[in-house]
């Protein structure tokens, strides 16, 4: 396959680029490096530094290459920031995505894999959510993603697409070629890794009185390299059946914040200190995926479905980030 991939200097896009290249496919990355890091771009990928809304530049790239599909990861991802600056999120995540999709369409590239988010389900009353469940977004970030999904769904005559709603993505490439580098990440396992390597003293646990067994919020953590493999398989599915679809991406299993911290403390001899603070705006109590649709349609066997493996890969990556001063 030959893939045009946006956001390849970011966490998930770089892992998918690695997975594509490892499996003998070609990839051309577009990234404006606004939140990404150039060191995450695989050496053997083609790279153009530009914004996804640059119609002229991207049209030229598409004309010069014979891409099979667009994988669109580029976007802003911080929930709290989106609550503060909603317009920033609608502009980049929705408007810029639509511009990009139309640039692709105008240059005869109409197959799209789009990164969406489980936070679209928001405060669903259901414990385990399926793709058909009603959406209750709790913040502008989730809304900006839903609006982009809706655009694709409303333009089915122009695009063949797969929308992937990721649950909580964590961990790092086992060869430590990529991982999360974002300095102000709000992701639990990233922060825990920073504490494990001594970069931070403590994890703040937001909320201790959720209606869950231990009072902390529950999430479905999926290893980024398993998520990357899903992308390869759904692209093959899209190219073979030319059928638009939407899939949840998780493991279908929930862990509370304290489950994750306790597991890390088993591994790292109680090094992970934490304290409780107020719930954050826009956070939800429990979000776990039903992945039966993905499993029924897509050939995918997870390789890292184990909380300890996810935590260890993330901490090992954090050590490397520390040593190499990313
Ligand atoms: N990380 C998660 O847990 C998670 C969960 C659900 C969904 N997602 C979605 O997955 C995608 C990738 O997330 P990530 O964690 O890799 O984020 P990231 O911030 O690490 O990567 C995003 C990349 O996109 C680039 N970018 C942003 N806006 C751009 C633009 N207009 N033009 C060109 N490049 C631009 C950034 O420079 C960065 O390299 C996002 O769309 C996000 O909404 C992520």
What is the structure's pLDDT at 185?
Answer: 82
Q: Residue 280 has what pLDDT?
A: 81
Residue where a domain terminates, one of 249, 268, 290: 249
* In-domain check, residue 284: yes
| 282 band by pLDDT with thresholds 50, 70 and 90 | low
Confidence of residue 210 (pLDDT cuts 50, 70, 90): very high
pLDDT of residue 73: 98
Rounded to whole angstroms, how far apart are CA atoms 10 and 18? 12
Q: Return the structure tokens found at 232.
A: 């390869």
**CATH number assigned to the domain comprising residue 298:** 3.90.25.10
Tokens of 78: 């911080």
Shared domain for 50 and 108, answered yes or no, is yes
Residues 124 and 204 in one domain: no
CATH number, domain containing residue 82 = 3.40.50.720
Average pLDDT, the chain: 95
Query: Is 89 a residue whose pLDDT tops 80?
Result: yes
Q: Does pLDDT of 75 surpass 80?
A: yes
Does 68 share its domain with 115?
yes
pLDDT at 125: 79
Nearest CA to ligand 1 atom 42: 77
Percentage of residues of the chain with pLDDT beyond 70:
99
Is 139 a member of any domain?
yes
Residues 6 or more apart in contact with residue 307 via CB below 8 angstroms: 221, 255, 259, 260, 263
Domain limits for position 119: 2-170+221-249
Give yes or no for residue 36 CB within 6 A of ligand 1.
Answer: yes
Q: Please state, for a pLDDT cut of 90, what percent of the chain lies above it.
A: 90
| Confidence check: pLDDT of 322 > 90 | no
Contact 25, 2 (CB under 8 A): yes
**Same domain, residue pair 148 and 245:** yes
3-state DSSP call for residue 97?
Answer: helix
Reported as a pLDDT band with limits 50, 70 and 90, residue 285 is: confident
- In the listed set 234, 249, 264, which residue is the last one of a domain according to the structure? 249
Mean pLDDT of 266-276: 94
Residues with Cβ < 8 Å from 133, sequence gap 6 or more?
121, 124, 126
Tell me the mean pLDDT in the region 189-212: 94
Residues 17 and 56 grouped into a single domain:
yes
Strands 128-129 and 221-223: unpaired
Are residues 240 and 111 both part of a single domain?
A: yes
Given the CA of residue 166, which atom of ligand 1 is nearest to it?
6
Task: Judge whether 175 lies within some domain.
Answer: no
Q: Which of 249, 265, 298 represents a domain boundary (last residue)?
A: 249
Same domain for 136 and 271, yes or no, is no
How close is the Cα of 35 to the center of ligand 1, in Å? 8
Kindly state whether residues 45 and 161 are assigned to the same domain: yes
Residue 157 and residue 270 in one domain: no
Q: Evaluate: CB of 74 within 6 angstroms of ligand 1.
A: yes
Rg (CA), the chain: 19
Kindly give the number of the ligand 1 atom that is closest to the alpha carbon of 12: 16
Say what the pLDDT of residue 291 is: 97
Q: 53-72, pLDDT tens digit by residue? A: 999 999 999 999 999 999 99
Question: Which pLDDT score, from 0 to 100, does residue 127 have?
Answer: 77
- CB of 321 within 8 A of CB of 177? no
* Domain annotation covers residue 178: no
Pocket probe for ligand 1: among 8, 9, 10, 89, the residue whose CB has the most ligand atoms within 8 Å is 10
Q: How many structural domains is the chain composed of?
A: 2
Beta-bridged to residue 325, according to DSSP, are none
Each residue's pLDDT tens digit, 141-174: 999 999 999 999 999 999 999 999 999 999 999 9
67-94 mean pLDDT = 96
- For residue 112, name the pLDDT band (cuts at 50, 70, 90): very high
Are 245 and 173 a contacting pair, CB within 8 Å? Answer: no
Q: Could you tell me if 230 and 274 lie in one domain?
A: no
Mean pLDDT, residues 240-265? 97
State the pLDDT at residue 235. 98
Instruction: Please give the pLDDT value at position 123.
Output: 80
Question: Can you spell out the DSSP letters for 205-234?
Answer: EE-S-SSSTTSS-EE-EEEHHHHHHHHHHH
Are 215 and 315 within one domain?
Answer: yes
CA distance 57 to 115: 22
Same-domain check for residues 104 and 243: yes
């Amino acid at each position: 396959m030959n893939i045009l991939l946006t956001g390849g200097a970011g966490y998930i896009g770089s892992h998918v680029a690695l997975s594509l290249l490892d499996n003998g496919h070609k990839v051309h990355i577009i990234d404006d490096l606004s939140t990404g890091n150039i060191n995450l771009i695989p050496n053997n990928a083609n790279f153009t530094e530009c914004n996804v809304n640059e119609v002229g530049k991207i049209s030229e790239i598409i004309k010069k290459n014979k891409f099979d599909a667009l994988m669109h990861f580029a976007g802003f991802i911080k929930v709290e920031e989106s609550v503060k600056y909603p317009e920033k999120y609608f502009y980049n995540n929705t408007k810029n995505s639509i511009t990009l999709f139309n640039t692709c369409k105008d240059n005869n590239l109409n197959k799209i894999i789009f990164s969406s988010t489980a936070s679209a389900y928001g405060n669903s009353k259901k414990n385990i959510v399926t793709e058909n469940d009603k959406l209750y977004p709790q913040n502008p970030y989730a809304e900006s993603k839903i609006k982009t999904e809706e655009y694709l769904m409303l333009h089915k005559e122009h695009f063949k697409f797969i929308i992937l709603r990721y649950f909580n993505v964590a961990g790092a490439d086992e060869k430590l070629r990529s991982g999360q580098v974002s300095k102000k990440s709000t992701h639990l396992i990233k922060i825990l890794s920073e504490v494990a390597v001594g970069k931070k003293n403590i994890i703040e646990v937001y909320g201790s009185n959720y209606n869950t067994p231990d009072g902390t919020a529950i999430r479905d953590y999926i290893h980024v390299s398993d998520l990357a493999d899903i992308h390869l398989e759904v692209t093959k599915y899209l190219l073979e059946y030319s059928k638009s679809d939407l899939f949840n991406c998780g493991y279908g299993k929930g862990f509370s914040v304290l489950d994750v911290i306790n597991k890390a403390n088993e591994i790292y001899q109680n090094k992970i200190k934490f304290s409780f603070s107020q719930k954050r705006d826009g956070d939800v109590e429990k979000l776990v995926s039903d992945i039966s649709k993905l499993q029924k349609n897509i050939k995918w066997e997870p390789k890292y479905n184990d909380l300890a493996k996810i935590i260890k890969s993330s901490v090992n990556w954090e050590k490397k980030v520390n040593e190499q001063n990313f």
